Structure 1
Amino acid sequence: MNKQIKNLKEPPKKVRIIGGLWRSRLLTVLDLPGLRPTTDRIRETVFNWLGQDLTGLQCLDLFAGTGALGFEAASRGADVVVLLEKDKKAHANLLTNFSLLQSSPVDGQIEILHRDSLEYLKQQADHSSNLIFIDPPFQDTRLLDQAVIEAGRVCDDSSGGGIYVEFPSERSREEVEALLPEWHCGKYLEAGQVKACLFRGGRD
């Protein structure tokens, strides 16, 4: 009996959408290397910073993973949300999560792309997005640095939004801030092994 119980697979973990049209809806989390979804607690803080209504914003969710950040933005009325994920299994899971959410469709446009996030970001025009989420696998420091630098060129937060960056606790806030000299970390948090900044272009 005990052996049979041990052999049973545990059900997939879930994270919930905090607010908006899809509030309390659940997203499945796969057990994949480097996949570390932003916790409910952190997302609640981040979206309190950003506001409950993201109408009019063009959003990029880089290294989307479960899509928790991008789907949260869509739930709160963002006009366009592009979620990018290069892992085949994670991308398929994004599509599955999205199809389940479609029972209550949002007004905004949502694209889920099986693409390399950094390559995609480098192809975007200057000032073409308003809100960019950057939360890559923590073990790849260079990937985070390159994405943050490119986001500084692509993002225009004059109508709201900003650049949200999640990074491991062993990195200093000042080190990440140095990647965006024209921006400032208007909001900052530390939670366990995670640090996060919401960068704004000259305004809180």
Structure 2
Amino acid sequence: MARSSPRKPTPQPLSQLRIIGGQWRGRKLHFAPVEGLRPTGDRLRETLFNWLQFYLPAARCLDLFAGSGALGLEALSRGAALVDFVELNPHAARTLKQQLQLLGAQGAQVHNCGAADFLASSDRQYDIIFVDPPFAEDLWQDSLSALEGHLSAEALVYIETPRNTPPPVLPNWQLTKEKRAGQVCMRLYSGTKQSSTGY
């Protein structure tokens, strides 16, 4: 009896996210169904970008663990001048490039590499940096330590962690905003060595 050939695995359908503000408000985009990839939800993004609204126009942004690209896409939609998306997974990086092409996005570049490799090879400074790595990999401290030299004079750094994770050790950084929602803790820091607040 002839054996049937093994079936090829069925590709998983792409997942979906919605841009919630700016020029692409309401646009639904797709992202790769990669294990561990969890886009920042609509309510959290709304809170974050309310915090950032006065700093986004013409800002240079870095989405360090881009995944779906939700944070960088939202920043572009709301007036950021440029966003570097850094994503290690090739499927996720390729899908993100496709979504940027569909939007006709200007000032966006996807870098298919690890965060540490990108930071070591780039000399660009940023006004806003999003640090939202896979929760299971505990990458916060190493990633934040590697940001030195990539912060503009008044940079803001957003960090997303599990709800009960202690804040990273960030000498001389000013915590300006903090909120817990569900199983997530959101923190916004001034990444300068100044002690002033005003956020």
Q: Which band: TM-score by shorter chain?
A: 0.7 to 0.9
- The equivalent of 2:151 in structure 1 is 155
**1:1-204 correspondence to structure 2 within 5 Å:** 12-51=14-53, 54-102=56-104, 105=105, 108-125=106-123, 128-141=125-138, 143-156=139-152, 158=154, 161-173=155-167, 176=168, 178=169, 180-200=170-190, 201=192, 202=195, 203=197, 204=199
Q: Which structure is larger by alpha-carbon Rg, 1 or 2?
A: 2
After TM superposition, what 4+ stretches of structure 1 lie above 4 angstroms from structure 2? 8-11
Provide the TM-score with structure 1 as the length reference.
Answer: 0.82
RMSD: 2.1
> Mind listing any 5+ residue stretches in structure 2 that lack a counterpart?
1-9
User: Given that residues 91 and 113 in structure 1 are in contact (C-alpha distance below 8 angstroms), is that contact kept between their aligned partners in structure 2?
Assistant: yes
CA–CA separation in structure 2 for the residues paired with 1:120 and 1:10: 29
CA–CA separation in structure 1 for the residues paired with 2:32 and 2:120: 28
User: Residues 157 and 198 (structure 1 numbering): CA distance in 2 closer, same or farther, change over 3 Å?
Assistant: farther
Provide the TM-score with structure 2 as the length reference.
Answer: 0.84
SS at structure 1 position matched to 2:189? strand
User: Given that residues 151 and 163 in structure 1 are in contact (C-alpha distance below 8 angstroms), is that contact kept between their aligned partners in structure 2?
Assistant: no
What is the one-letter code of the residue matched to 1:185? L
User: Given that residues 62 and 117 in structure 1 are in contact (C-alpha distance below 8 angstroms), is that contact kept between their aligned partners in structure 2?
Assistant: yes
SS at structure 2 position matched to 1:151? coil
Q: Percent identity, aligned pairs only?
A: 37
Which one has a larger percent helix, Structure 1 or Structure 2? 1
What is the one-letter code of the residue matched to 2:121? Q
SS at structure 2 position matched to 1:60? strand
User: Given that residues 12 and 33 in structure 2 are in contact (C-alpha distance below 8 angstroms), is that contact kept between their aligned partners in structure 1?
Assistant: no
Aligned residues: 185
